[in-house]
Amino acid sequence: MGTFGRQIGGIATPSINEEKIIDFIRQTKFHELDSEQLKTTGFFSEFQEMYNGLPILSRYSCNDHETLRRCFTWLGFDVYKNGTPIESYSYNNDGDPMEYQFKSYKTNRIIHALLSNPSLVVKDIDGETGFTNFAEPYNDITTFSRIEFTEVNPFTFDGELAAIALEGSVYVKWKRAQFETKSLTLDFANVLMEGRFSDFKIYRTQECWSGYILGFFIAYFLFDTNKGEFWILSKDDFD
Protein backbone atom coordinates (compact mmCIF):
# COMPACT_ATOMS: atom_id res chain seq x y z
CA MET A 1 0.00 0.00 0.00
CA GLY A 2 3.00 2.30 0.29
CA THR A 3 3.03 5.60 2.15
CA PHE A 4 -0.72 6.12 2.16
CA GLY A 5 -2.12 2.72 3.17
CA ARG A 6 -1.54 -0.46 5.10
CA GLN A 7 -2.97 -3.95 5.56
CA ILE A 8 -4.75 -4.96 8.75
CA GLY A 9 -5.85 -8.61 8.89
CA GLY A 10 -5.60 -8.80 5.12
CA ILE A 11 -7.90 -5.81 4.68
CA ALA A 12 -6.66 -2.54 3.21
CA THR A 13 -7.38 0.38 5.53
CA PRO A 14 -6.48 4.07 5.47
CA SER A 15 -3.25 5.08 7.14
CA ILE A 16 -2.42 8.70 7.85
CA ASN A 17 0.98 10.26 7.92
CA GLU A 18 0.05 13.90 8.01
CA GLU A 19 3.50 15.29 7.27
CA LYS A 20 3.96 13.09 4.19
CA ILE A 21 0.56 14.10 2.90
CA ILE A 22 1.38 17.78 3.38
CA ASP A 23 4.72 17.26 1.60
CA PHE A 24 2.91 15.60 -1.31
CA ILE A 25 0.44 18.49 -1.60
CA ARG A 26 3.21 21.06 -1.39
CA GLN A 27 5.60 19.38 -3.85
CA THR A 28 3.48 17.62 -6.47
CA LYS A 29 2.99 19.37 -9.81
CA PHE A 30 -0.57 20.53 -10.37
CA HIS A 31 -2.06 21.25 -13.75
CA GLU A 32 -5.23 23.08 -14.65
CA LEU A 33 -8.10 21.12 -16.14
CA ASP A 34 -10.77 22.33 -18.51
CA SER A 35 -13.57 24.24 -16.79
CA GLU A 36 -15.20 25.87 -19.81
CA GLN A 37 -18.49 24.01 -19.43
CA LEU A 38 -18.93 25.48 -15.96
CA LYS A 39 -17.81 28.96 -16.97
CA THR A 40 -20.45 29.08 -19.68
CA THR A 41 -23.34 28.17 -17.38
CA GLY A 42 -26.06 30.78 -17.08
CA PHE A 43 -25.12 31.53 -13.47
CA PHE A 44 -21.40 32.10 -13.89
CA SER A 45 -21.77 33.99 -17.16
CA GLU A 46 -23.79 36.63 -15.31
CA PHE A 47 -22.03 36.35 -11.97
CA GLN A 48 -18.58 37.16 -13.34
CA GLU A 49 -19.86 40.38 -14.92
CA MET A 50 -20.67 41.91 -11.52
CA TYR A 51 -17.12 42.17 -10.22
CA ASN A 52 -13.98 44.10 -11.08
CA GLY A 53 -11.42 41.50 -12.15
CA LEU A 54 -12.97 38.61 -10.28
CA PRO A 55 -14.30 35.96 -9.74
CA ILE A 56 -11.95 33.01 -9.98
CA LEU A 57 -13.16 29.64 -11.20
CA SER A 58 -10.48 27.01 -11.77
CA ARG A 59 -10.15 23.22 -11.67
CA TYR A 60 -6.94 21.30 -10.92
CA SER A 61 -5.43 17.85 -10.53
CA CYS A 62 -2.04 16.18 -10.86
CA ASN A 63 -0.66 13.12 -12.64
CA ASP A 64 -0.95 11.05 -9.47
CA HIS A 65 -4.63 11.76 -8.99
CA GLU A 66 -5.13 8.55 -6.98
CA THR A 67 -2.75 9.72 -4.24
CA LEU A 68 -4.30 13.18 -4.38
CA ARG A 69 -7.73 11.60 -3.96
CA ARG A 70 -6.48 9.73 -0.88
CA CYS A 71 -5.01 12.90 0.56
CA PHE A 72 -8.34 14.67 0.22
CA THR A 73 -10.14 11.70 1.76
CA TRP A 74 -7.81 11.27 4.73
CA LEU A 75 -6.51 14.67 5.71
CA GLY A 76 -9.09 16.96 7.19
CA PHE A 77 -11.99 15.00 5.83
CA ASP A 78 -11.36 11.42 6.95
CA VAL A 79 -13.27 9.07 9.20
CA TYR A 80 -10.21 6.97 10.05
CA LYS A 81 -6.90 7.58 11.74
CA ASN A 82 -4.42 4.71 11.61
CA GLY A 83 -7.28 2.33 10.89
CA THR A 84 -9.39 3.51 13.86
CA PRO A 85 -12.61 5.52 13.50
CA ILE A 86 -12.04 9.13 14.54
CA GLU A 87 -15.37 9.30 16.35
CA SER A 88 -15.12 6.95 19.30
CA TYR A 89 -16.06 6.38 22.94
CA SER A 90 -13.67 5.74 25.76
CA TYR A 91 -14.75 2.96 28.14
CA ASN A 92 -14.27 2.17 31.82
CA ASN A 93 -13.18 -1.23 33.22
CA ASP A 94 -16.77 -2.50 33.09
CA GLY A 95 -17.00 -1.75 29.40
CA ASP A 96 -19.38 1.14 29.83
CA PRO A 97 -18.88 4.29 27.73
CA MET A 98 -17.36 7.12 29.77
CA GLU A 99 -16.64 9.89 27.35
CA TYR A 100 -17.38 10.62 23.71
CA GLN A 101 -14.26 11.77 21.91
CA PHE A 102 -14.47 13.59 18.61
CA LYS A 103 -11.21 14.25 16.80
CA SER A 104 -11.03 16.24 13.61
CA TYR A 105 -8.34 17.81 11.47
CA LYS A 106 -8.46 21.41 10.39
CA THR A 107 -8.24 22.01 6.66
CA ASN A 108 -5.84 24.92 7.03
CA ARG A 109 -2.61 22.97 6.58
CA ILE A 110 -3.69 21.31 3.35
CA ILE A 111 -4.98 24.59 1.89
CA HIS A 112 -1.81 26.40 2.94
CA ALA A 113 0.23 23.65 1.23
CA LEU A 114 -1.86 24.02 -1.93
CA LEU A 115 -1.39 27.79 -2.03
CA SER A 116 2.35 27.39 -1.35
CA ASN A 117 2.82 25.03 -4.28
CA PRO A 118 4.51 27.01 -7.10
CA SER A 119 2.74 24.96 -9.78
CA LEU A 120 -0.69 26.12 -8.60
CA VAL A 121 -1.33 29.15 -10.80
CA VAL A 122 -4.76 30.56 -9.99
CA LYS A 123 -5.79 33.30 -12.40
CA ASP A 124 -8.81 35.55 -12.23
CA ILE A 125 -10.67 36.63 -15.36
CA ASP A 126 -8.14 39.43 -15.94
CA GLY A 127 -5.22 37.02 -15.76
CA GLU A 128 -4.04 38.18 -12.33
CA THR A 129 -2.49 35.58 -9.99
CA GLY A 130 -2.57 37.29 -6.59
CA PHE A 131 -4.84 34.64 -5.12
CA THR A 132 -1.89 32.45 -4.08
CA ASN A 133 0.17 35.30 -2.65
CA PHE A 134 0.60 35.47 1.12
CA ALA A 135 0.71 38.83 2.83
CA GLU A 136 2.50 38.99 6.15
CA PRO A 137 1.91 37.26 8.46
CA TYR A 138 -0.21 34.66 6.60
CA ASN A 139 2.81 33.04 4.97
CA ASP A 140 3.43 31.56 8.41
CA ILE A 141 1.34 28.43 8.97
CA THR A 142 0.67 29.39 12.60
CA THR A 143 -1.15 32.54 11.53
CA PHE A 144 -2.77 30.88 8.52
CA SER A 145 -4.14 28.18 10.81
CA ARG A 146 -6.24 30.82 12.57
CA ILE A 147 -8.25 31.44 9.39
CA GLU A 148 -11.71 29.99 9.76
CA PHE A 149 -12.62 27.53 7.02
CA THR A 150 -16.24 26.50 7.36
CA GLU A 151 -17.42 23.19 5.92
CA VAL A 152 -20.28 23.63 3.48
CA ASN A 153 -22.82 20.91 2.83
CA PRO A 154 -22.62 20.08 -0.91
CA PHE A 155 -26.41 19.81 -0.98
CA THR A 156 -26.81 23.44 0.13
CA PHE A 157 -23.88 24.90 -1.84
CA ASP A 158 -26.20 26.23 -4.55
CA GLY A 159 -28.22 28.11 -1.94
CA GLU A 160 -25.12 29.91 -0.67
CA LEU A 161 -24.22 30.96 -4.21
CA ALA A 162 -27.74 32.25 -4.78
CA ALA A 163 -27.54 34.37 -1.62
CA ILE A 164 -24.15 35.79 -2.68
CA ALA A 165 -25.45 36.67 -6.15
CA LEU A 166 -28.57 38.33 -4.77
CA GLU A 167 -26.40 40.63 -2.63
CA GLY A 168 -24.95 42.12 -5.81
CA SER A 169 -21.59 43.87 -5.94
CA VAL A 170 -20.31 47.32 -5.08
CA TYR A 171 -21.75 48.90 -8.22
CA VAL A 172 -23.90 46.25 -9.90
CA LYS A 173 -27.21 44.79 -8.80
CA TRP A 174 -28.10 41.19 -9.56
CA LYS A 175 -31.02 41.37 -11.98
CA ARG A 176 -32.55 37.92 -11.61
CA ALA A 177 -35.48 37.07 -9.37
CA GLN A 178 -34.87 34.80 -6.40
CA PHE A 179 -36.42 31.67 -7.94
CA GLU A 180 -34.50 32.20 -11.19
CA THR A 181 -31.27 32.68 -9.28
CA LYS A 182 -31.77 29.50 -7.27
CA SER A 183 -32.46 27.57 -10.48
CA LEU A 184 -29.28 28.91 -12.07
CA THR A 185 -27.07 28.13 -9.07
CA LEU A 186 -28.55 24.63 -8.80
CA ASP A 187 -27.65 24.00 -12.43
CA PHE A 188 -24.16 25.36 -11.75
CA ALA A 189 -23.69 23.02 -8.76
CA ASN A 190 -24.99 20.04 -10.74
CA VAL A 191 -22.53 20.66 -13.56
CA LEU A 192 -19.62 21.10 -11.15
CA MET A 193 -20.35 18.05 -8.98
CA GLU A 194 -21.92 15.94 -11.74
CA GLY A 195 -24.65 14.92 -9.31
CA ARG A 196 -22.01 13.25 -7.07
CA PHE A 197 -22.67 15.51 -4.10
CA SER A 198 -21.46 13.06 -1.46
CA ASP A 199 -18.06 12.84 -3.20
CA PHE A 200 -17.32 16.49 -2.48
CA LYS A 201 -15.90 18.24 0.57
CA ILE A 202 -16.40 21.99 0.38
CA TYR A 203 -14.77 24.64 2.57
CA ARG A 204 -15.47 28.36 2.61
CA THR A 205 -13.67 31.33 4.10
CA GLN A 206 -14.19 35.09 4.06
CA GLU A 207 -10.77 35.84 5.51
CA CYS A 208 -8.31 37.03 2.87
CA TRP A 209 -4.63 35.97 3.21
CA SER A 210 -3.27 38.04 0.29
CA GLY A 211 -3.56 41.41 2.01
CA TYR A 212 -6.36 42.81 -0.12
CA ILE A 213 -9.18 43.17 2.37
CA LEU A 214 -12.33 45.17 1.64
CA GLY A 215 -14.88 42.86 3.22
CA PHE A 216 -16.17 41.40 -0.05
CA PHE A 217 -13.78 38.45 -0.28
CA ILE A 218 -15.05 34.89 -0.28
CA ALA A 219 -13.31 31.71 -1.40
CA TYR A 220 -14.52 28.14 -1.81
CA PHE A 221 -12.26 25.09 -2.06
CA LEU A 222 -14.15 22.11 -3.46
CA PHE A 223 -12.37 18.76 -3.15
CA ASP A 224 -13.51 15.85 -5.31
CA THR A 225 -12.58 12.80 -3.24
CA ASN A 226 -13.62 10.45 -6.03
CA LYS A 227 -11.65 11.86 -8.96
CA GLY A 228 -8.73 13.42 -7.10
CA GLU A 229 -9.46 16.90 -8.41
CA PHE A 230 -10.27 20.22 -6.78
CA TRP A 231 -11.98 23.43 -7.74
CA ILE A 232 -11.40 26.97 -6.52
CA LEU A 233 -14.19 29.54 -6.68
CA SER A 234 -13.55 33.00 -5.30
CA LYS A 235 -14.82 36.53 -5.62
CA ASP A 236 -13.91 39.94 -4.27
CA ASP A 237 -14.77 43.47 -5.28
CA PHE A 238 -13.07 46.84 -5.39
CA ASP A 239 -13.42 50.36 -6.76
**Beta strands 150-152 and 218-224: pairing type?**
unpaired
Between the CA atoms of 96, 97, 99 and 102, what dihedral angle is there, to the nearest 10 degrees? Answer: 160
The reply to whether the predicted model has a pTM over 0.75 is yes
More confident residue, 103 or 106: 106
Report yes or no: 177 and 130 within 8 Å, Cβ to Cβ: no
Q: What is the pLDDT of residues 182-216, one digit of tens each?
A: 999 999 999 999 999 999 999 999 999 987 656 68
Q: Answer yes or no: is pLDDT of 35 > 50.
A: yes
**Beta strands 11-14 and 84-85: pairing type?**
unpaired
Type of residue numbered 167: E
For residue 152, is it within any domain? yes
For residue 91, is it within any domain? no
Stretch (H or E) spanning 224: strand 218-224
How far apart, in whole angstroms, are the C-alpha atoms of residue 46 and residue 174?
9
Type of residue numbered 118: P
How far apart, in whole angstroms, are the C-alpha atoms of residue 171 and residue 84?
52
**What is the extent of the structural domain holding 64?**
15-80+106-235
Q: Answer yes or no: is pLDDT of 234 > 60.
A: yes
For residue 4, is it within any domain? no
pLDDT of residue 225: 93
Q: Answer yes or no: is pLDDT of 104 > 50.
A: no
For residue 96, is it within any domain? no
For residue 20, is it within any domain? yes
What letter would DSSP give residue 100? E
Q: Answer yes or no: is pLDDT of 98 > 70.
A: no
For residue 23, is it within any domain? yes
Report yes or no: 187 and 198 within 8 Å, Cβ to Cβ: no
CATH of the domain at 152: 3.40.1000
Q: How many domains does the chain have?
A: 1
Q: What is the pLDDT of residues 208-218, one digit of tens each?
A: 998 765 668 99
Residues with Cβ within 8 Å of residue 239, at least 6 apart in sequence: 52, 170
Stretch (H or E) spanning 26: helix 18-27
Report, as an integer, the average pLDDT of 174-179.
Answer: 96
Q: What is the pLDDT of residues 48-80, one digit of tens each?
A: 999 876 789 999 999 999 999 988 887 554 333
Q: What is the pLDDT of residues 124-176, one digit of tens each?
A: 777 777 899 999 999 999 999 889 899 899 999 999 999 999 999 888 899 99
